[in-house]
Structure 1
């Protein structure tokens, strides 16, 4: 240890109090030990440290060697034996504590001229805590590394043993990064050099656009339907499907190739055709969960609902667009739960931008384990319904047709429609009773002939003679 060069000149004559203050300030703990190894005095900077050291009793009056753990007694004896005018070699000893772990202290000792020695100690608990945290962090990293290594081994084994050809493709360059043995066997002679090769070169030129469209759909939406392509080396047909995943800040495609059945058809091809029909159907098609929240919708429904994308509809309740809020969807779902199907349910569909269309809804419940889903077909029937100049729809001819208007028009219009229905039925009954005699029918109804002819023309019951007589 290098001491002061000129302590007498730089420190001057220090008295005992000043020396004790310096020792106490420089160390976490300082012990004054007599020639018999008994602690005669002590100074401790921290009350917490002193409390931990004296958890089994006060240190004063005890032999220094008796205040440490069994394995540290030899270190204390060596510390006392080697103490001289200069600082002794530092030794770490442990004091027992009833608070849990032992208290580690790094001591050095120096003997005074008067005979006793001063043992100066540094508290190593903060360093021990840091070391413990480091060890725990290393052990946690080792466990995580072992778990990841085992998972990688399992998935690597699954990747290698899969009978289905699987390729890992870089999204930026569209080059094959990795391929399993089944993929190499599928590509034949070219399978030996498939890694590093652009994926599109593996397919015949006329099927490349379909694969490009598949990859573009996966990149934008994260998923896409499978497509059919032919391998360039063998002209063999395969179904290509892909999914997107990220690894080490890079995006990769997981491309799977499946072989069609020998008869030229397969379940995958059939499902692909159904999905294409779903997308191109002229009627709106919607799939919801058991609570009526949209899971999927085709473009025809998006046009009716005036939505720009399927994402705007997904997760929303179908009730949002149906005419009678709180009624139509409840009726449909209740029938689907009880019967399983609904046919030609008449209602209206409201668009996001205010458009409204008369529609017919047919629906069916689809088993999906314990959580069924519902499929709805929505047909716009507004164009095929005849209209009159006043109301823009066919006038109801019966009470049943009249009740179907509830929720679609206001109560004021319903009362007017009901009055027209009753009036028309009465005129038809009077004409039937009088053998189609207009004069007798007018007298029976308490109307003038002119008023009767006006009403006949209004309800579409007048012929050409009646129209001419009314004009006269």
Structure 2
């Protein structure tokens, strides 16, 4: 039975199941159009009627569309597929996937389209995610490469031990040489290994202490092969559900400089005043808990190896003055300065320091006392500045404001110069640096304000 095809009705029916439907004549002209009324209808309106579908695509797609039209007309039994990108009037691109089939009467072609923008958006998101993953991958590879190079360059033995199983996960070449057997034989073995039986028990206890406190140190550890003395430092690390021990083993030098020399006695660890042990360059070797509290640091491994001027002094000048005086005199008493905490809190302190003469290498001990309460009380009852300002305010009405401001500025400037000379123990060069002045400018101001009570030439020469 012959079917009476109504092209408009057929297009309307197909539009219910597709996003867009066309009836095209044999040359590609649009004779019927229907859409689902969704977002696509806002871009493809009935003003397309009468136009050629070939005119709605870019030049490189016209030949493909013309070929598909010809194939659909030549083989009515087979639907032809083609992906097209329409160029809209506002310059936007509209990707659509079409199925083309010849009408039964052979008078044209019906095209059923599906909006591919959601698919294109997903593809773009997938591409962006893939590019981001590749960038992260290469960034991690670079970080791992730097980590490996640094890990292998460290002279001390470094091991990463799993806290759950007790097995060594990573070990640098120095660990293999120190503990014997090479790095590959160390990895995967239970830790501690390569140590004497007594030292293995001591280090096992050290791991437990580090797990409880976060960090633990032990000296006097000995190797199994030759009883060579070692020092051990263990840090406990947690990341998510994984826990690790970071173990550093270092040889103790024959003069004993590798162990107790760089640690404080328990009495100083519990001292109410801050205690700092440094080398002759001011690099921190040990610090007690009071110093860590004032410096707002969680553990001493955050300060060891760093220069003390990171925390001590208003600038690098204060530590330089201290080191210079310790080098010349061997001791310094009641040096007033500030201790700068990592959290931004500055504390007024007094420092007494001395050279440890019995140490095999140059070592300096700093005893730091918090005097912030004492200083604030003293400032509240001070007489110089308030009295001077009071004298100036009494002259209001008798002198112009400009002269009053100039006098008050001179008073404050003179007081700052005196304070700088006191802080630097009368060292003119250091005082000039502390004030941000040249030495010549400082000399001129000393003469201007007749500051001759301090013996400024005692050290500067």
Q: Cα 1:104–1:174, aligned 2, differ >3 Å: closer, same or farther? A: same
Structure 1 length normalisation: TM-score?
0.55
1:241 CA drift (Å): 0.9
Q: Cα 1:168–1:53, aligned 2, differ >3 Å: closer, same or farther? A: same
Structure 2 residue corresponding to 1:40, chosen from 24, 31, 39: 31
The residue number in structure 2 matching 1:256 is 248
Of stretches 43-52 and 162-171 in structure 1, the one that deviates more from structure 2 is: 43-52
C-alpha root-mean-square deviation of aligned residues, in Å?
A: 4.5
1:29 and 1:191 mapped to 2: Cα distance?
A: 68
Structure 2 residue corresponding to 1:29, chosen from 16, 20, 23: 20
CA contact (8 A) 1:163 1:182 kept: yes
Q: Cα 1:262–1:280, aligned 2, differ >3 Å: closer, same or farther? A: same
1:51 CA drift (Å): 3.3
Alignment of 1:15-414 (within 5 A): 18-53=9-44, 58-84=47-73, 85-97=76-88, 102-114=93-105, 115-188=107-180, 193-225=185-217, 227-246=219-238, 249-266=241-258, 269-274=260-265, 276-281=266-271, 284-285=272-273, 297=289
2:255 and 2:198 mapped to 1: Cα distance?
A: 22
Unmatched runs of 5 consecutive residues or more in structure 2: 276-286, 298-312, 319-333, 352-376, 378-461
Structure 2 length normalisation: TM-score?
0.56
CA contact (8 A) 1:164 1:256 kept: yes
Unmatched runs of 5 consecutive residues or more in structure 1: 1-6, 288-294, 299-309, 316-335, 341-361, 378-402, 404-472
1:374 and 1:202 mapped to 2: Cα distance?
A: 49
1:367 CA drift (Å): 5.0
Please state whether the residue corresponding to 1:75 is helix, strand or coil.
helix
1:162 CA drift (Å): 1.8
1:296 CA drift (Å): 7.8
Q: Cα 1:189–1:107, aligned 2, differ >3 Å: closer, same or farther? A: closer
Number of aligned residue pairs: give it: 311
1:260 CA drift (Å): 2.7
Please state whether the residue corresponding to 1:199 is helix, strand or coil.
coil
CA contact (8 A) 2:86 2:93 kept: yes
Please state whether the residue corresponding to 1:197 is helix, strand or coil.
coil
1:68 and 1:260 mapped to 2: Cα distance?
A: 80
1:214 CA drift (Å): 2.7
1:271 and 1:373 mapped to 2: Cα distance?
A: 26
The structure that has the greater radius of gyration is 1
**Structure 1, residues 218-254: CA drift from partner, whole Å, max 9, x if none?**
2233333454422222211122112233568432211
**Structure 1, residues 247-305: CA drift from partner, whole Å, max 9, x if none?**
68432211111233331124x6333225x333455xx4579xxxxxxx9857xxxxxxx
Q: Cα 1:92–1:254, aligned 2, differ >3 Å: closer, same or farther? A: same
1:122 CA drift (Å): 0.9
1:228 and 1:375 mapped to 2: Cα distance?
A: 36
1:101 CA drift (Å): 5.3
Q: Cα 1:192–1:121, aligned 2, differ >3 Å: closer, same or farther? A: closer
